[in-house]
Amino acid sequence: MKKRPVTLASGQFGDMSLEELCQMCRRIGYEGIELAAHAHFDVGKALEEPGYVPWVKETLEKYGLKCYAISAHLTGQCVGDVWDPRLDHFAPSEISGQPEKIRAWAIAEMKRTVKAASMMGVKVITGFTGSPIWAWWYSYPQTTREMIDDGYQLIYDLWTPIFDVFDEYGIQFAREVHPTEIAYDYYSTEALLKKFNYRPTLGINFDPSHLVWQGVNELTFVRDFADRIYHVHAKDVKINRNEKAGILGSHIEFGDTRRGWNFVSVGQGDVDFDGIIRELNQAGYEGPISVEWEDSIGRRCGKAGDGRLPIFAIQILPRANLLKKYLLNLV
């Protein structure tokens, strides 16, 4: 098996320019960047300004980096979600508070993102689909099977024309299994793939952190959905087992140690990365391992461009041998 690249998801570093982010990635030792469309890859400029895509490529190349995937999480969320004020932050300000216009924009923007990704030579787009039925995950007031089926049907109807564009350009969609999404655990993922008749366009962005806090075995998930894993996020989660905190978060902000669980830097939580890498090896996965850093407690120090490494880099660098063994030199 060839060596898989270890990349960094850029969405959490929106306060840094692409140049600054590339400089940081090179210092730490990453081999690429998963460029987020809401942060470091402007779809509009890619399609409308002839010099933009060459500039992005040249900037990456200057620091020995590549882009293996583009993230369109926020855009995809707006396609299938039921509107509330939070979605206004994901869409252009001029359509805030207008659910139908936000959805129409998101559908068109996803298609444009596919075209822009093809210009970058990228074959995978990661993201969300949104969900019209997430609020019904707990069946009270009583939820009928018809209500759930209608939700899956709406996602099918909304995304099928989008996937047709994916197919036109030979690009795959790695949809992240994530709470608030229509597919958020093992069985809901199975149901979504079945709904699309296992269309090859639709695969999985495997992020184990979202499974572990729910109690879903991350190794079983990799093993059973091996042929559908098109992209991987390395994100860790620490379960806080105490007599007060449950898994639903208690309406307490991320990073608060009273929570039942928190995202932490890779290697500091309860995700079995050793087992995951072994399962990925067995499955023959050769795509990138993209580190998505969302450690709310180990916040970054300083401001972008001030020359200081973020705290997470300080945490990861001493673990270089661990990362090299499990993430870099993959057998």
Instruction: Output the tens digit of pLDDT for each of the chain's 331 residues.
Output: 668 999 999 999 999 999 999 999 999 999 999 999 999 999 999 999 999 999 999 999 999 999 999 999 999 999 999 999 999 999 999 999 999 999 999 999 999 999 999 999 999 999 999 999 999 999 999 999 999 999 999 999 999 999 999 999 999 999 999 999 999 999 999 999 999 999 999 999 999 999 999 999 999 999 999 999 999 999 999 999 888 999 999 999 999 999 999 999 999 999 999 999 999 999 999 999 999 999 887 654 444 434 334 444 434 433 434 454 455 444 3
DSSP code of residue 95: G
pLDDT of residue 301: 46
Which among 162, 132, 128, 130 is positioned nearest to 147, based on CA atoms?
A: 132
Residue 123: count other Cβ atoms within 10 Å of its Cβ: 16
Tell me how crowded residue 10 is: count the other CB atoms within 10 A of its CB. Answer: 26
* pLDDT of 299: 55
Torsion sign across C-alpha atoms 130, 135, 139, 141:
negative
Residue 121 neighbours by CB distance under 10 Å: 11
Which helix (H) or strand (E) segment holds residue 70: the answer is strand 70-71
**How many helices (H) and strands (E) would you count in the chain?**
12, 10
Architecture of domain 6-328: Alpha-Beta Barrel (3.20)
- Model pTM? 0.92
Domains of the chain by residue range:
6-328
